Amino acid sequence: MVTVKPDYYDDFRCLMGECPSSCCTLWQIDVDEKTYEYYQKLDTPYGEYIRSQIDNIGDEHWIKVYNGRCAFLNDENLCDMHCQIGPKHMAFTCRQYPDFTIACDTYEVTGRTLSCPYVANRIVREKSKTKLIIEGKSHDEYENEIFHIVNKCIEIAQDDSIKYRDREKAIIDYIRKEQMYLVEKFKVDEIFMTEDNKTIWDYCDTLNSLNVVTEKWPKILSQLEELEYSENDIVKFEEYLGDREKEYENILVYFLYKHIMYSTNDGNVFQRVRFAIIATRIIFMVGLMKFIENEEFTTEDNIKVAYIFSKEIEHDDENIDTILEDISLGMI
Ligand code: SF4
């Protein structure tokens, strides 16, 4: 078994009451069966209170949400359940967040999600090239190949001898060849590899069809739809960013790392790489829009855009499926 994590993984500190977008707001938090059973047996007044704050349909259980806040989020923005019965009795989702794990047959790829403001801050501000910490060995040729693709895409994304925009093109050129190699060598299904020639306006229909958790994202999206910009505006924004283009490299590396390994299911690396590029491009375009509007766009602004995008869009599996489907149809 090979375990992989990014080098920033161990640098994590929950912002708790200071968090600007707590994971205890906006999402519906599912309660896993084992934890639910524990709550059922908790014979204390607090146990009774916990049970009163959980809704159920069949064997699905979730915590009630009031005005977008988890029922257990107290006035200090701290988790009341954490204080009362300790972290080990919280639902699996709460114990795991902000971690994600992609469990393949011989790889376990772990990371921290961009939707958490602490993690977004850490990722976007990173000055050095993100490295992966890899332990163990796999003899699974196919999974080794997919992991090789992850590494190669990250290497191209971090190639600062070429402009950031040209790295996206280089990644697409590389992944086309790799996709054909997977078809030939590992007999994965052939896919239609669409052109990467769409603009932000082409993305809007797809983006409008996605599930969101607040009104924030549709508002940003409707502003994006109205955005009038030229190549000159992009060049000006790139000049304004200077070395800060690295922020987009970091975001792209995050998406490549998190999403390509899912391709071990179907061998479709092309669409997942395009997803990573499109996701980063949308975050870039929101930055461009804010820059045109205000003539400035700070790193703090970029961190906020990144965690809003991840929280609103990336966290929903249905959204990912819709985007991958629209990529496969050549719509985006
Ligand atoms: S989103 Fe991250 S920093 Fe904020 S409360 Fe949750 S784990 Fe802590």
Nearest Cα to 218, choosing from 229, 207, 226? 207
pLDDT for 47 equals 96
Average pLDDT, the chain: 95
Question: From CA 49, how far away is CA 52, in angstroms rounded?
Answer: 5
Question: Is 98 a pocket residue for ligand 1 (Cβ < 6 Å)?
Answer: yes
pLDDT for 196 equals 86
Quote the strand ranges of the chain, DSSP E: 2-6, 54-57, 60-63, 65-66, 69-70, 99-103, 107-112, 132-135
pLDDT at 146 over 90: yes
Extract the tokens encoding 64: 């009630």
State in Å: Cα 78 to ligand 1 middle: 10
Question: Is 70 a pocket residue for ligand 1 (Cβ < 6 Å)?
Answer: no
The closest-lying atom of ligand 1 relative to the alpha carbon of residue 19 is 4
Residue 52 neighbours by CB under 8 Å, 6+ apart:
none
Which carries the bigger pLDDT value, residue 199 or residue 15? Answer: 15
Atom 8 of ligand 1, residue of closest alpha carbon: 14
Nearest Cα to 100, choosing from 250, 252, 227, 258? 258
State in Å: Cα 121 to ligand 1 middle: 12
The closest-lying atom of ligand 1 relative to the alpha carbon of residue 97 is 7
Question: From CA 269, how far away is CA 108, in angstroms rounded?
Answer: 18
Which carries the bigger pLDDT value, residue 185 or residue 201? Answer: 185
Q: What digits encode the pLDDT tens for the residues 117-145? A: 999 999 999 999 999 999 999 999 999 99
Question: Is 114 a pocket residue for ligand 1 (Cβ < 6 Å)?
Answer: no
State in Å: Cα 228 to ligand 1 middle: 35
Phi and psi torsions of 25, nearest 5°: -125, 150
pTM above 0.85, yes or no: yes
Atom 7 of ligand 1, residue of closest alpha carbon: 14
Nearest Cα to 257, choosing from 4, 18, 67? 4
The closest-lying atom of ligand 1 relative to the alpha carbon of residue 98 is 7
Question: Is 111 a pocket residue for ligand 1 (Cβ < 6 Å)?
Answer: no
Extract the tokens encoding 96: 């795991």
What stretch of H or E contains 228?
none
pLDDT at 197 over 90: no
Nearest Cα to 178, choosing from 170, 162, 25, 201? 170
Question: Is 15 a pocket residue for ligand 1 (Cβ < 6 Å)?
Answer: yes
Question: Is 113 a pocket residue for ligand 1 (Cβ < 6 Å)?
Answer: no
Q: What digits encode the pLDDT tens for the residues 275-318? A: 999 999 999 999 999 999 999 999 999 999 999 999 999 999 99
The β-bridge partners of 260 are none
| pLDDT grade for 198, boundaries at 50, 70 and 90 | confident
Nearest Cα to 329, choosing from 201, 173, 206? 206
| pLDDT grade for 249, boundaries at 50, 70 and 90 | very high
- Angle between helices 269-294 and 216-226 in degrees, nearest 10: 80
pLDDT for 216 equals 86
Question: Is 23 a pocket residue for ligand 1 (Cβ < 6 Å)?
Answer: yes
Question: From CA 328, how far away is CA 190, in angstroms rounded?
Answer: 11
Question: From CA 261, how far away is CA 189, in angstroms rounded?
Answer: 17
State in Å: Cα 116 to ligand 1 middle: 5
Extract the tokens encoding 18: 């200071």
Burial status of residue 69 (CB atoms within 10 A of its CB: 0-12, 13-18, 19 or more): middle
């082409």: which residue's tokens?
202
Q: Is 302 in contact with 310 (CB distance < 8 Å)?
A: no
How many other CB atoms are there within 10 angstroms of residue 83's CB atom? 12
Question: From CA 221, how far away is CA 227, in angstroms rounded?
Answer: 10
């999974």: which residue's tokens?
143
Atom 4 of ligand 1, residue of closest alpha carbon: 22
State in Å: Cα 180 to ligand 1 middle: 41
